[in-house]
Amino acid sequence: MRVALFLGAACLALAACSSGSGGSNNSMAEAPTTQGWAGFRDATIDKWFKVDPSFAVYEGKHEFDGQLPDWSAAGLKTRGDFLRATIAKASAMTGLNPDEAFERDYMVQVAKGQLFWLEEADSPHRNPAFYVGGGLDPNTYVSREYAPPEVRIKAMTAFLKAVPAAAANIKANLKTPMPASFVKYGLAAFEGFEGYYKGDAVAAFASVKDPALQKALKDAGEAASKAMSELAVWMKGQQAGATQDFALGAERFSHMLMATEGVDMPLEQLEAVGKADLKRNQDALVAECAKYAPGATVVDCMAKMNSEKPKGGPVKAATDQIPELRDFIVKNNIVTIPGTEQALVRESPPYNRQNSAYIDPAGPLETGVASIYYISPPDPSWSPQEQAAYIPGEDDLLFTTVHEVMPGHFLQFLHSNRSKYKFGQLFVGYAFAEGWAHYSEEMMWEAGLHAGDSATHIGQLSNALLRNCRFLSAIGLHTGKMTQEQSETMFREQCYQDSGNARQQAARGTYDPAYLNYTLGKLMIRRLRDDWTAKHGGRAAWKDFHDQFLSFGGPPIPLVRQRMMGEPTAKAVF
């Protein structure tokens, strides 16, 4: 997804750095306030595209095709200068109407969040995920048919030609020693890109008959692959000296929440909120297992549910689930489904299998382009038992499809792409997107999806518990209360995840500290729904609530609450 995700590095993708010649240029953020809000906003967005061309391409701004961010020291400084000036100038704008003031606050919060990842978290120098999610993925040129192959092959070639210089900057930037989980993540990604750049990225354009274009693509792919191979070898060399120094620390973690999501709450209180939701879902699972598998342990109950594997494999099953979910939403008056766009299901590429499933939605500046829902196969290095366990049960997969497609990410982006807030079309936040998708899982069960079917409910609860453990793991890992091994144990023993998934999720928490946003966002949305519908008709007002909530685009949820509830300040309420 566009928070890109939405993907292990979702929170970092939006922090990708600047492009261009690399010199600092403070004037990039200059926009005279005499333009009025719309003029300032549009000029700022144009400059955002220039400092982050990968983001521009992802949104459908294809005049930036083939460009990578400038990850040199000068380029990183340019990025930081731009964000600081944007915050200062936007904050100084007064005399705005309510919609303009909302969009201004939205812009300021996004810029503060990106600046946090760029400088305070120091992601360019600490975390390979910054680069993996911030520009190295050329999938837009392959999967989105926004132009004929003869046009996109040129974009891919230009992109691949830019990779060697980018790889040199990555190697120069990353400080050693790195945490062991960061090294493993970077190594897997760079090795995956090594094969993809000279393999599938080239094969995707086999239909282009021009020999000159094919040779240029092949040569660029080989050079890009070599650069990634060298980067992977260097990364492998960091394994011996790798550390466990991944934690942000309590103070920085708290600032992350405030800078990126507008959530200002003591971590002890936030942890208590997470533990209460974990207990709620654990109790529901125990009660449902008593009906589904009487006398069995919860572990055996979950194993029974997961033993019912999708017929024909996860890709085929998910493809069949999408129209079923669409029909349910329409018949039950849950939320408006705008437009006629489609979501296709594919197996995820080798370089991006750190998460079991994700979606790449079409950008708001594109038309007639399908979104792709990717499902990852198990790691071939795992044991046969772990690989079999990793493939989700059919009911578990159902709620993954709810989350990624209908009414989760895909439908949410159909709304954000049509938001009246131009800024909201382009900048969809982590907690908004993942919170909505995760909220959708429980909401669909509450609305009667497969009503009364215990296996379906257990599938929903399995997904909820996974996100509960992410929430608590993020806080524990980054405040120093929990080791990676303890996190893995928690995923297995308290959230009933298989060993392969538990290992993967514990590692993700080290390099994606904001992955608590799934539960964080869900709980804020649930509370806002309850408070808003209490004044607007109760359960019958769900569709109106959902449509209005999604209309804002994707800002920090406290800003949405302030507008929908008419409250004087933006605050997080759970």
Query: pLDDT tens-digit profile of 11-22?
Result: 333 333 333 333
Task: State the pLDDT at residue 161.
Answer: 98
Least confident interval from 21-35, 282-296, 323-337, 542-556: 21-35
DSSP 183: H
Q: What are 245-282's pLDDT values in tens digits?
A: 999 999 999 999 999 999 999 999 999 999 999 999 99
Return d(Cα 138, Cα 225) in angstroms, integer: 13
Residue with tokens 């029909």: 327
Beta bridge partners of 97: none
Average confidence (pLDDT) over 543-549:
98
- Residue 132 contacts residue 162 (beta carbons within 8 Å): no
Q: How many CB atoms lie within 10 A of CB 287?
A: 13
The CA-atom distances, in angstroms, between 96 and each of 35, 102, 281 are: 12, 9, 44
Task: State the pLDDT at residue 351.
Answer: 66
> Taking 80 as the threshold, does the pLDDT of residue 25 lie above it?
no
Of residues 240 and 396, more confidently modeled: 240
Q: What are 52-66's pLDDT values in tens digits?
A: 999 999 999 999 999
> Taking 70 as the threshold, does the pLDDT of residue 361 lie above it?
yes
Return d(Cα 469, Cα 475) in angstroms, integer: 10
| Count helices and strands in the chain by DSSP H and E runs | 27, 3
- Residue 356 contacts residue 375 (beta carbons within 8 Å): yes
**Residue ranges in 308-450 assigned as alpha helix (H):** 314-331, 384-390, 394-404, 409-416, 422-426, 430-446
Please, which pLDDT band fits residue 143 given cuts at 50, 70 and 90?
confident
**Length of the chain in residues, anyone?**
574
Task: State the pLDDT at residue 539.
Answer: 94
Average confidence (pLDDT) over 160-167:
98
Return d(Cα 368, Cα 486) in angstroms, integer: 46
Say if pTM beats, i.e. exceeds, 0.85: yes
CA triple 301-307-308, angle to 5 deg: 110
Burial of 98 per CB tally in 10 Å (0-12, 13-18, 19+):
exposed
> Taking 60 as the threshold, does the pLDDT of residue 7 lie above it?
no
Structure tokens at 536: 């607007």
> Taking 50 as the threshold, does the pLDDT of residue 26 lie above it?
no
Sequence-distant (6+) residues with CB within 8 A of 472 are 271, 274, 275, 278, 490, 516
Average confidence (pLDDT) over 31-48:
85
Residue with tokens 């973690």: 253
- CA atoms 528, 531, 534, 535: torsion sign: negative
3-state secondary structure of 373: strand
Q: What residue type is assigned to position 46 of the chain?
A: D
Mean of pLDDT over the chain:
92
> Taking 80 as the threshold, does the pLDDT of residue 1 lie above it?
no
Of residues 564 and 388, more confidently modeled: 564
Q: What is the DSSP string of 325-339?
A: HHHHHHHTT-S---S
3-state secondary structure of 318: helix
Beta bridge partners of 359: 373
Return d(Cα 340, Cα 411) in angstroms, integer: 11
Q: In degrees rounded to 5, what are phi and psi of residue 285? A: -65, -45
Q: What are 278-332's pLDDT values in tens digits?
A: 999 999 999 999 999 999 999 999 999 989 898 888 999 999 999 999 999 999 9
Q: How many CB atoms lie within 10 A of CB 418?
A: 15
- Residue 465 contacts residue 495 (beta carbons within 8 Å): yes
Return d(Cα 435, Cα 554) in angstroms, integer: 10
> Taking 60 as the threshold, does the pLDDT of residue 549 lie above it?
yes
HSE, CB side, 13 Å, CA atoms: give it for residue 447.
Answer: 22
Give pairs for 293-299: CB < 8 Å, separation 24+.
298/496, 299/496
Burial of 23 per CB tally in 10 Å (0-12, 13-18, 19+):
exposed
> Taking 80 as the threshold, does the pLDDT of residue 220 lie above it?
yes
Nearest to 407 by CA among 368, 364, 436: 436
> Taking 60 as the threshold, does the pLDDT of residue 4 lie above it?
no
- Residue 437 contacts residue 404 (beta carbons within 8 Å): yes
Nearest to 79 by CA among 116, 110, 109, 118: 118
Structure tokens at 87: 């915050």
- Residue 7 contacts residue 13 (beta carbons within 8 Å): yes
Q: What are 477-488's pLDDT values in tens digits?
A: 999 999 999 999
> Taking 70 as the threshold, does the pLDDT of residue 348 lie above it?
yes
What is the C-alpha radius of gyration for the chain, rounded to an integer number of angstroms?
Answer: 23
Q: How many CB atoms lie within 10 A of CB 401?
A: 27
Please, which pLDDT band fits residue 388 given cuts at 50, 70 and 90?
confident
> Taking 80 as the threshold, does the pLDDT of residue 31 lie above it?
no
3-state secondary structure of 36: helix
3-state secondary structure of 123: helix
Average confidence (pLDDT) over 218-245:
98
> Taking 70 as the threshold, does the pLDDT of residue 9 lie above it?
no
Strand order in the sheet with 343-347: 343-347, 371-375, 357-360
